[in-house]
């Protein structure tokens, strides 16, 4: 943890004003669907010139946020405004390949254990002088 992060944590606990120093790693803002709906309603209620700009400055938003949220609302999907996971999407073929590889390894281990058990049974039959399954089939 960086020194500035430690300072901020100490100040949060002590109730002091936050440190104006820039954080070592910025955090991405995440907006809930409820927040997006509320802002879109407020924007729709704006009638006078400049009200939307004042609203955006007050909330610390960009006009591109409004554009994106309006498109999401217009799509008709009820979950359109819900936050989505970021980053690269997993390839479904790669996921299936990894699952099959894992299953194959597990089956190979089971086969190895089964062969060991069979070998032990053969050796036990030889020691006790009992006929093995192969010898019984021959007769």
What would the mean pLDDT of 75-79 be, rounded to a whole number? 80
Coil, strand or helix at 87: coil
Coil, strand or helix at 31: coil
The residue that leads in pLDDT, 131 or 59, is 59
The residue that leads in pLDDT, 9 or 104, is 104
Report pLDDT for 59: 92
Annotated domain spans of the chain: 29-84, 103-138
CB 15 within 8 A of CB 9: no
pLDDT, one tens digit per residue, over 84-112 is 777 888 899 999 999 999 999 999 999 99
Report pLDDT for 86: 76
CB 33 within 8 A of CB 84: no
Which residues make Cβ contacts (< 8 Å) with residue 52, sequence separation at least 6?
43, 46, 66
Rounded-to-integer distance, Cα 9 and Cα 60, Å: 24
């Amino acid at each position: 943890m960086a020194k500035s992060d430690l300072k901020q944590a100490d100040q949060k606990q002590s109730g002091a004003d936050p440190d104006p120093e820039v954080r070592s790693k910025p955090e991405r803002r995440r907006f809930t669907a409820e927040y997006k709906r509320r802002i879109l309603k407020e924007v729709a209620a704006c009638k006078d010139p400049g009200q939307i700009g004042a609203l955006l400055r007050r909330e610390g938003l960009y006009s591109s946020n409004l554009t994106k949220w309006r498109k999401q609302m217009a799509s008709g999907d009820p979950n359109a405004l819900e936050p989505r996971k970021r980053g690269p999407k997993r390839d479904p073929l790669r996921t299936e390949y990894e699952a099959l590889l894992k299953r194959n390894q597990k089956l190979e281990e089971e086969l190895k254990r089964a062969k060991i058990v069979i070998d032990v049974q053969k050796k036990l039959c030889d020691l006790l002088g009992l006929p093995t399954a192969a010898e019984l089939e021959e007769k």
